Structure 1
Amino acid sequence: MSKEHIIPDPIRAGLARGWDVVDASGLTEDRSMQADVVIVGSGAGGGISAEILARSGLSVIVVEEGALLSSRDFNMREAEAYPSLYQESAARKTADKGIDILQGRTVGGSTTVNWTSSFRTPPDTLAWWKRRHALPDATPESMAPWFEMAERRLKVGDWQAAPNENNDILRRGAEKLGIPTGFIRRNVNGCWNLGYCGMGCPTNAKQSMLVTTIPAALDHGATLLTRARAERFAIRGEHVEELVCQALDTQGLRPSGRVLRLRARHYVVAGGAINSPALLLRSEAPDPSGMLGRRTFLHPTVISAAIFPQRVDGWAGAPQTVYSDHFLHQAPVDGPMGYKLEAPPLHPLLMATKMSGFGAHHADIMREFPHTHAMLALLRDGFHEDSQGGRVALRADGSPELDYPLNDVLWEGARRALLSMAEIQFAAGAREVLTGHEMAPRYASWAEARRGIAGLPQRLHLTRVVSAHVMGGCAMSGDERLGVTDANGRYRGLANVSVHDGSLFPTSVGANPQLSIYGLTARLASGLAAALTGRQAAPLA
């Protein structure tokens, strides 16, 4: 019996019900469309906004550059998933090629391919935003109802199964050192515990925008445009008159030559913290604060792998179920850079492209794949006075690029993080530790690793740095000098444009950001719906 007979496909069922979905790659002529609201992007911010606005009785068009895929397309194969579901085939990099960036590019955005980790915005981050960026609602109390709404809608809850070995190694090693850990809440419903979340959920258990808010918006009359690239806003004075989109070819890569012109009362930019600033830059949008595309933040992430006597099988079982925030709280938020520890899933291509070395050395590491454990340290950037983040700029062809210089504050934090991870891995019984650094040997003991990592030069292209979290670039602030957007997500200088995604964050979050985006955009979209309709917004179902 085929997978399609075992697992219901909500996308196929919705299309059969008559959803209004337009695959722009099939257009044979230019097209104009109109709605109350046009939303650019179908990820965390765009999906939440689409459901709330459509349920509130507004006509909505959602524009997505990627394709509409579903569980029947998700075959747990890296070679298929990365080109079809990720920006630049999962090979997006910063301008200097020093940081690899994983971002989604499909209906549902990164929520379709993330690892389901669900954290509310940390209180110390909210306190910083309230104090430094004049955001009065940036408190746990003010945000709690919006987080609760999103958590109910997306089935965010405690993971009931035991952690897989990859995660339990983090727990056991930390426990031996007296380092507290916790269990990560996940947005899943009926999870099969497969471990292939990053390739699209083949069972529809992950409660991504693909199977929750986008279908709900379509059931309430929204229109979804796929393989359509939002090129620029046509601006007259302080208003956007239309959004000009390019239809893409069937591969979703090159313009087909067809143009879509979308007119609306209001426009919501939710393309993510690289693509959202880029759209506004291409549109030559007003920039009164001079901050558009600036102070873009990652969680720069360093890696430590370890070889264990027992099989780890890091690809099997739910990813990222154990974490430690111990090293986030050893100094003030604006002091030496803190970091969050997590254990990512391991798959052959992902591991091969993220591990250091080449040739025989790299081949030897890959032979140990079943016995390999991995740990990540997510560095919390944007709080120290020397941490100004990166800048989104446009290449000659108008495509976006993130320049992200790494300073001494970050490199010092990276060294401490590599030491912390190696110590935990040896405490858990590692035979060897493979630090994510081009000059690091395979350390056989904690004493050897401690000496070796202390002496490693921390610099670009030597220390392996990755990230899946991009934030900022359209920062919100009650102070017009500091914010591209105001406290309600309204774009300063354009009366009918809002931003509803992670580009709003004034700093990095210090935790996996999806739930922060869900909660914040639920509040902003509800306020926008009320402003446009003159009545209370409909909640997420």
Structure 2
Amino acid sequence: MSTPIIPDPIHAGIAKGWKIIDAATLTKDRTLEADVVIVGSGAGGGVTAEILARSGLSVIVVEEGALKSSSDFKMREAEAYPGLYQESAARKTADKGINILQGRTVGGSTTVNWTSSFRTPPATLDWWRRHYALPDASPEAMAPWFAMMEARLQIADWPGAPNENNDILRRGAGKLGISTGLIRRNVKGCWNLGYCGMGCPTNAKQSMLVTTIPAALEQGATLITRARAERFVFQGERADELLCQGLDAAGVHPNGRSLRLRARHYVVAGGAINSPALLLRSNAPDPSGQLGRRTFLHPTVISAAFFPQRVEAWAGAPQTVYSDHFLAGAPDGPMGYKLEAPPLHPLLLATTMNGFGDTHAQMMRDFPHLHGMLALLRDGFHEDAPGGSVRLRGGGSPELDYPLTDYLWDGARRALLSMAEIQFAAGATGVQPAHEMARRYGSWREAKAAIAALPQGLQLTRVASAHVMGGCAMSGDERLGVVAPDGRYRGLSNVSVHDGSLFPTSLGANPQLSIYGFTARLASGLAASLTGRPAARLAA
């Protein structure tokens, strides 16, 4: 039986003349002009690009990563992580305490995420209205924007049954009376492969790579890849131009070529580490002192469990079951957490879990029987969860300083206990928390006592995150946010921010749909102000 040929929309678009400049191949410096220059092609930049281009504006999108497409996605970790992620999927906080997974390719993290799609939780929106002077941050006000993006990106209930990895969460929680729900996904014609984190080889995932960026290019937008946005040049309260460096073929080192991008308006959408970093490198005004501060991660702790039956957690839709049971309390009470079941692949699993030698080797031999569960800790709502700060290294590259407090460690301990109890309730023969001093425990009674006694701390508890938010907080109170409610950067008349860095706290949910909805609203307002007519509406 022959392998079916998957049409590659990127190759087709290039063949018909899309305007794409690969800065790695430049032989001379370039100067380009447009109505709007957008930094970043992920959830915020992609949505903004389509809305502005469809509204009749000329658009340039500049992306630090390379343009990869379904023809390049081979479901191999060794190729995907260096090619599609920031710092080869090994970006870390300054103290190396948290590993951060962020996309670095056209489409940004939407190209490599696991498709989980949640609207912003009502409790989070309520907090923003009450504490950050954002009266339009309500479920009712945001519903039309979420609905528009859900239609545009095919976000819907997943019709298939959960794979065994996810069903273990459902079954175990059900036996304990813990509520669960099903995760909506942005997919169309999904093959149920389970390798979403390495780029979708069938173009089923409705990421920015196959939706909004191609739509903008169809409208005449220009895409510049492997180009690093270095700094803005300001003239008074206006950005006069954006200076970019071309990068080498690996997309790492400058190749000696520069680009000067000039526009009526600039949109910063590089993600919640790179966006604050660009503005910091540019010495952007910061009267509130909040630029780069209050950056949040949903610090994530992990619990592995071993089952008699084969789990094969690498196969099937990656995340389809969740539980918000432990988010029911007040946001500023004890730290709450969301439970999900992530896909497991050998390289990421082996480098995330603790142990070495024979113990680690045995875990990997048991890989087909291994189930994974994670807890996303909801940070940003308590005085002892202030998040982190983006700062610049000597060469101007960003790093995130993210202190881990006793308040967070208390949440981590409770989360590890909750996950272990659910896993044993589902029939696990052993549970091993991702903690340097933990081992495989054979019963809930043993695990309960051991986890309660484990010291929680830096480099002991394994912490990761794929969700970066904040650093350019949006607020109606200029003392609390560097960005106004319309997305405009305070103190700069022609600069906006359209990405997850806008969020004044974490979300308590996977962020992509929140970014889509808020960006659609902000980009539509920007398009109307620049053109003098209503913005184009997006449709499936």
**TM interval, short-chain normalised:** over 0.9
Q: Deviations over 1:107-131 (max 9, x none)?
A: 0000000000000000000000010
- Cα shift at 1:441: 1.8
- Cα shift at 1:334: 0.6
Matches within 5 A, 1:475-514: 475-514=473-512
- Cα shift at 1:17: 1.4
Alpha-carbon distance in 2 for matches of 1:478, 1:309: 54
Q: Deviations over 1:55-93 (max 9, x none)?
A: 000000000000111100000000000000000000000
Alpha-carbon distance in 1 for matches of 2:10, 2:27: 25
Unaligned runs of 5+ in 2: none
- Cα shift at 1:362: 1.1
Count the aligned residue pairs: 539
Match of 2:532 in 1: 534
CA RMSD of aligned residues (A): 0.8
Q: Deviations over 1:237-290 (max 9, x none)?
A: 100000000000111110000000000000000000000000000001110110
- Cα shift at 1:460: 0.5
Match of 2:185 in 1: 186
Structure 2 counterpart of 1:463, from 461, 466, 471 = 461
Change (3 A) 1:265 1:98: same
Alpha-carbon distance in 2 for matches of 1:458, 1:508: 22
Match of 2:27 in 1: 28
Alpha-carbon distance in 2 for matches of 1:282, 1:462: 34
Unaligned runs of 5+ in 1: none
Alpha-carbon distance in 1 for matches of 2:383, 2:436: 30
Deviates more, 1:348-357 or 1:211-220: 348-357
- Cα shift at 1:344: 0.1
- Cα shift at 1:34: 0.1
Alpha-carbon distance in 2 for matches of 1:352, 1:154: 33
- Cα shift at 1:158: 0.3
Matches within 5 A, 1:81-480: 81-329=80-328, 331-480=329-478
Alpha-carbon distance in 1 for matches of 2:537, 2:282: 32
Which amino acid in structure 1 is aligned with residue 350 of structure 2? A
Alpha-carbon distance in 2 for matches of 1:496, 1:270: 14
- Cα shift at 1:399: 0.3
Give the match's secondary structure for 1:493.
Answer: coil
Which amino acid in structure 1 is aligned with residue 215 of structure 2? A
Which amino acid in structure 2 is aligned with residue 370 of structure 1? P
Alpha-carbon distance in 2 for matches of 1:302, 1:522: 32
Alpha-carbon distance in 2 for matches of 1:464, 1:404: 14
Which amino acid in structure 2 is aligned with residue 265 of structure 1? R
- Cα shift at 1:501: 0.1
- Cα shift at 1:2: 7.4
- Cα shift at 1:322: 0.3
Give the match's secondary structure for 1:498.
Answer: strand
- Cα shift at 1:301: 0.2
Give the match's secondary structure for 2:259.
Answer: strand
- Cα shift at 1:386: 1.7
Alpha-carbon distance in 1 for matches of 2:7, 2:439: 49
Alpha-carbon distance in 1 for matches of 2:54, 2:164: 43
Which amino acid in structure 2 is aligned with residue 134 of structure 1? A
Match of 2:53 in 1: 54
Alpha-carbon distance in 1 for matches of 2:145, 2:440: 47
Q: Deviations over 1:402-444 (max 9, x none)?
A: 0000101100000000000000000000000001111112110
Match of 1:519 in 2: 517
Which amino acid in structure 2 is aligned with residue 33 of structure 1? L
Alpha-carbon distance in 2 for matches of 1:34, 1:288: 30
- Cα shift at 1:361: 1.5
- Cα shift at 1:359: 1.9
Alpha-carbon distance in 1 for matches of 2:162, 2:496: 40
Alpha-carbon distance in 2 for matches of 1:158, 1:386: 36
Alpha-carbon distance in 1 for matches of 2:377, 2:2: 43
- Cα shift at 1:507: 0.2
Give the match's secondary structure for 1:6.
Answer: coil
Give the match's secondary structure for 2:94.
Answer: coil
Query: What is the TM-score of this pair, normalised by structure 2?
Result: 0.99
Alpha-carbon distance in 1 for matches of 2:130, 2:2: 55
Alpha-carbon distance in 2 for matches of 1:257, 1:385: 45
Give the match's secondary structure for 1:29.
Answer: coil
Q: Deviations over 1:295-341 (max 9, x none)?
A: 00010000000010110000010001000000000x21110000000
Which amino acid in structure 1 is aligned with residue 370 of structure 2? T
Alpha-carbon distance in 2 for matches of 1:394, 1:384: 26
Alpha-carbon distance in 1 for matches of 2:448, 2:151: 45
